Structure 1
C-alpha cells in the first residue's frame, strides 16, 4: 500500500497517545461535538398515533441487517452504530452504517445525526468502523457501548472537503474489493456444486459411460449400471443412537468425555475445533462410544444439515455422540463408500422426502435412514470410483482453498485501506475518479468468470 499511496508531507502530535501522529491540517474531535444522538426520539406520524404501522419501511438493528420492528421511525440521513459490545466489537466486522429514507431503528443501535457543517456522514461511518472500542468499553459496561462511551470516542478529523474526498475514495475502492470478494465467493459456490455433481454422478452411474444400464426401481435415482445391486442401508449396517442431554446426574458418579454435536458433523468432514465435554455415568461410555470407521450422520436441523455426515477416524478417544447425531457401523462395504452415497444428490433427496418438516427445520428418524436405498458396485469398482473421487475432489478443494485465501487477503486489504485513509496514513487529496483509477478486476489468478469449467 505504501508504494501506491503517499503519506502526508507533514504530521503533528495528536495529544492522544493511542491516536499517535495526525496530518498537520487535521484535528481531534469527539463524537459528541460532531453529531446529535437521537436515541429514544422519533418522527411522529398520524399512522403511529392511530396504532398502525407506517410503511413498509426497513427495520435496522445493531448489526446493520434487517431486524424486528424498531422503536423509532426516522426519515433522514443517519449513521447507526451497534451498542452491543463483546464479542460484537471484537469480531473485526463493521458496526456503523449509513441509512437514509424512512427506516425503523430498534433499541440495539445508537442513532447519530451528523452535523453536516463539521463531518461527512460517510466519512463518519468509515472512521467509526476503525475505532478501537476497547478504549471506550470497560468495567461494568464491558458488554455494551453506552451513549456516554460513544460520545467520548475521539476521531481524527480532516477538513470537511477532504472528508468528502476520502469518503468518495473509500466508496470506490471498497466497492471494487467487494466485487472481487463476491466473485471469489461465487467461485467457491460453483466448486461446491461441481463437487456434489462429480460425486453424485460417479456413485450412481460409475466411470464407464458405455456400460449397460438398468432401471434402479427408485424413482429419483433412475438408471444405474446393470451389474450393480441396490440394497437398503439396514441390510449392510447397524445404526447407533447418541446420548440425550439434560439427564439428572445429581448424586451419581460421573466421568467427563468429549461429545460430538450436530455442529461438529459437517458435510464430508468432522469439525473438531469446538468439541464440548459432557458428564456421563461410567457404564454409559461403552454404549455411546464411537468406533473408527463409523459414518456420522445428522438427524436434522436446518435443511442443509439433514443427513449431513462424514467418516469418523477415531481422532479423539474415547468420544461419544449426542442423540441428534447417528453413528452408522457398516459391514460388507467401506464406510467411505457409504459416506459418499449418503452425501449424493439422490440420497439427500430421499432424506428430504421422508423427513419430518417444520418451518426451516427438518429431522429424519433412524427407521427412515435404515430404509435408504444404496447403490453398490463390485468391490474393485468401488475402490476405483473412490480413488477417482479422491483425486477429483482434492483438485476442487485446492481451488476452493485458494479462493478462500484470496477472500481473506482482500478483506485484510479492505480493512487496512480504510484504516490508512481515515487515520491520515495515506494522502488521497488529489484522488479523482477517472479511467486511470479504474483498476482491472481481473488481477486475481482465479476470478469466477475464469472458472467456467466448474459450472455444473
Structure 2
C-alpha cells in the first residue's frame, strides 16, 4: 500500500479502537525514516548539521561553558535498522545535542511548597509543580531520565519546555543547533524503542551515557522543519480522532443508561412496552461495543428481579401463599430439631426498593432459607490441589458469578479434611468477606472438582425446596443487593469488608410464584447466553479492525 493511498483511505480505518495510536506510531516512524515529506536536493546535507554542532560544542568547551565530553564511537553497520535518504546522516544522539544536565537542581516537595510561584517545575514526564524562580529561559528538549514511563510510554518521553522554568534531576535537559532541530529530536526519541538504552527493572533509568549513544537518523535542517510541521498536522488529526471516539463512546453509554433507566422506572405495562420498543429499535446502536454488554447483563438482572422480564400468570400460586407454605415447613423442621431457629427483623415499606407484581411478595431472605453454615480454613499450601488431594476454595472461586473450582489451595498432607464441608453441585455459596464491591457475591455451583472444601469466609445457604435458589442468586447479585451489602459491610478498608449471617438473613428479597421463578431463571439463562455471544462477536470484530489497521500501517511503512 502506497503512503498516499493509506492517507486517502484512512477515514475507512478510523473506527478501529487503535486507529489514532497506530496513526501516531506510523507517522513518527515515517518521519524518522525520511518517508513523511519529500526531500529537496537544494537542502544542505545533514552532515553539515553535525559539523556545525561540533564547532559550537568546541567553542563552548574552550569558553568553559561546557565540559569536554567523551568522544563517541562511529555508527556501526549493525546498528542501522533501516535505510535513509542520501542527504541524511547517521550520528550519535550526543553528537547533535548539548547536554545541560549540570544546571538542573532538584527540590523536595516541602521546599517547593515553601517556594510556590508562577514558574513551571518539570519532572520526568512534564510539569509537576510551580515555584518562585527559574533555571532556564529558552526552549529546550527534556527527556525523562527514569521512571516506568521509559518502558510503558503512557505519555511522550521527550517534550519541549518553553518560557521560564525549573527542571529537577529526573529529566535530561538538551539544547541543539536550532529549535527545529530540537523538535525533530523530540519526534525521533518518541518514535524509537528506548529499552536497549535503559538500565534497571524496578526503577528503569536512561543515564546520560546511554542516551548519548543512541544512533539518530538525521535529516537536513530544512527538512527537519518540514517533518515537524507535517507531524504537528497529522498528530492534531490523531487527537481529533481520539476525541471523536471518546465522545461517541460517552454518548452511547449515556443513551444506554437513559434507555435502561426508563425501562426500570416504567410504572405501567404500556409505559414499559414503549421504552422497550425504543431500546429494541436502537439495539445495534446501543450495543455496538463490548463495553456496553456488562450494563446490558445488569439491566437484564434488574428487569428479571422486578418482574418485568416474563409475564405473570394468574394461575400461578401467589407469592404470599408460597411464603406461608415455607413457614409451615420450617415450623415442622424446628419441632423435629432438624434446623435451628434464626431471628430476622420484620420488613417495612421503606425497605422495599420497588413495587412488585400483584402476585409477588416481599420478605427477608431468612423467610425462604432453612440454614446457613460456614466452612473451614486450616493453614494450606500456597498452590492448587492435585487430582487426588483435598483442597480449600478461595474467595475468588465465587467472586465472578460462576463457580471456579480451580481457585483453591491444597490441604497439607496429614490434615484431616472435614468432609461435611465438601462442595457439591447445587450448593448456594456466598462470600462473607471480600472487597466492598464483591462482599456478599454468590454462586450456585453447577460443576465442581472432587475433594474441595468450603473455606471459613464462604457460607453455604440451604434453601427451602419450595423455591428456585437460582432466582435468589440472581437477586443476590443484582445492583440492589450489591447496595445493601456495601452498606452493611464492616471494616476500615474497602479492600476487605465483612458481613455476618444475620445481615445476610435480613436481606429484603422479592418472592415471585415458584413457577415464575423458574421461568425467570430460564429466560435470564437464554439472554445471558445471547449477551456472551454478542460480546464475543463485538470483541472479534474489534480485533479484526485493529488487525486491519495494523496491517495497513505496516504496509504503508514497509512498501513505500
TM category, shorter: 0.5 to 0.7
- The answer as to whether partners of 1:123 and 1:167 remain within 8 angstroms in 2 is no
Is 2:205 the counterpart of 1:146? yes
Q: How far 1:342 sits from its partner (Å)?
A: 0.8
Provide the C-alpha distance between the structure 1 equivalents of 2:460 and 2:168, rounded to a whole number of angstroms. 44
Q: Secondary structure at the match of 1:352?
A: helix
Q: How far 1:143 sits from its partner (Å)?
A: 4.3
Matches within 5 A, 1:55-134: 79=142, 81=144, 83=146, 89=151, 96=157, 98=159, 110-111=171-172, 113=174, 115=176, 116-120=179-183, 123-124=187-188, 126-128=190-192, 131=193, 133=195
Q: Secondary structure at the match of 2:446?
A: coil
Q: How far 1:111 sits from its partner (Å)?
A: 4.8
Provide the C-alpha distance between the structure 1 equivalents of 2:168 and 2:448, rounded to a whole number of angstroms. 45
The structure 2 residue matched to 1:225, chosen from 344, 357, 361, is 357
> Residues 260 and 226 of structure 1: is their aligned pair in 2 closer, same or farther, counting only changes over 3 Å?
same
Provide the C-alpha distance between the structure 2 equivalents of 1:322 and 1:61, rounded to a whole number of angstroms. 48
Hey, what does 1:243 align to over in structure 2? 377
- The answer as to whether partners of 1:300 and 1:324 remain within 8 angstroms in 2 is yes
Provide the C-alpha distance between the structure 2 equivalents of 1:17 and 1:412, rounded to a whole number of angstroms. 31
Hey, what does 1:160 align to over in structure 2? 224
Q: How far 1:202 sits from its partner (Å)?
A: 1.4
- The answer as to whether partners of 2:393 and 2:408 remain within 8 angstroms in 1 is yes
Higher helix fraction: Structure 1 or Structure 2?
A: 2
Provide the C-alpha distance between the structure 2 equivalents of 1:242 and 1:65, rounded to a whole number of angstroms. 52
Hey, what does 1:202 align to over in structure 2? 304
Hey, what does 1:352 align to over in structure 2? 486
Gaps of 5+ in 1: 249-254, 428-456
- The answer as to whether partners of 1:293 and 1:313 remain within 8 angstroms in 2 is yes
Provide the C-alpha distance between the structure 2 equivalents of 1:277 and 1:40, rounded to a whole number of angstroms. 56
The structure 1 residue matched to 2:527, chosen from 392, 398, 408, is 392
Is 2:425 the counterpart of 1:363? no
Hey, what does 1:435 align to over in structure 2? none
- Map Cα deviations across residues 167-211 of structure 1 (whole Å, 9 max, x no partner): 542442365157437745855454333321221121122445677
- The answer as to whether partners of 1:119 and 1:163 remain within 8 angstroms in 2 is no
> Residues 192 and 29 of structure 1: is their aligned pair in 2 closer, same or farther, counting only changes over 3 Å?
farther
- Map Cα deviations across residues 52-89 of structure 1 (whole Å, 9 max, x no partner): 26379999988x6999999x999977655484569x94
Provide the C-alpha distance between the structure 2 equivalents of 1:66 and 1:237, rounded to a whole number of angstroms. 60
Provide the C-alpha distance between the structure 1 equivalents of 2:354 and 2:243, rounded to a whole number of angstroms. 42
Rg comparison, structure with higher value: 2
Q: How far 1:334 sits from its partner (Å)?
A: 4.1
> Residues 409 and 358 of structure 1: is their aligned pair in 2 closer, same or farther, counting only changes over 3 Å?
farther
The structure 1 residue matched to 2:237, chosen from 139, 154, 172, is 172
Hey, what does 1:451 align to over in structure 2? none
* RMSD of Structure 2 on Structure 1 (CA): 5.3
Matches within 5 A, 1:21-40: 21-24=82-85, 26-33=88-95, 36=99, 38=101
- The answer as to whether partners of 2:142 and 2:160 remain within 8 angstroms in 1 is yes
Hey, what does 1:434 align to over in structure 2? none
- Map Cα deviations across residues 200-228 of structure 1 (whole Å, 9 max, x no partner): 12112244567799998462423223333
Q: How far 1:341 sits from its partner (Å)?
A: 0.8
> Aligned residue pairs: how many?
403
> Residues 60 and 136 of structure 1: is their aligned pair in 2 closer, same or farther, counting only changes over 3 Å?
same
- The answer as to whether partners of 2:372 and 2:461 remain within 8 angstroms in 1 is yes
Provide the C-alpha distance between the structure 1 equivalents of 2:126 and 2:352, rounded to a whole number of angstroms. 39
Hey, what does 1:440 align to over in structure 2? none
Q: How far 1:407 sits from its partner (Å)?
A: 5.1
Higher strand fraction: Structure 1 or Structure 2?
A: 1
> Residues 320 and 351 of structure 1: is their aligned pair in 2 closer, same or farther, counting only changes over 3 Å?
same
Hey, what does 2:508 align to over in structure 1? 373
Q: Secondary structure at the match of 1:223?
A: coil
TM-score, normalised to structure 1's length?
A: 0.64
Is 2:140 the counterpart of 1:5? no
Provide the C-alpha distance between the structure 2 equivalents of 1:289 and 1:399, rounded to a whole number of angstroms. 36
- The answer as to whether partners of 1:60 and 1:103 remain within 8 angstroms in 2 is yes
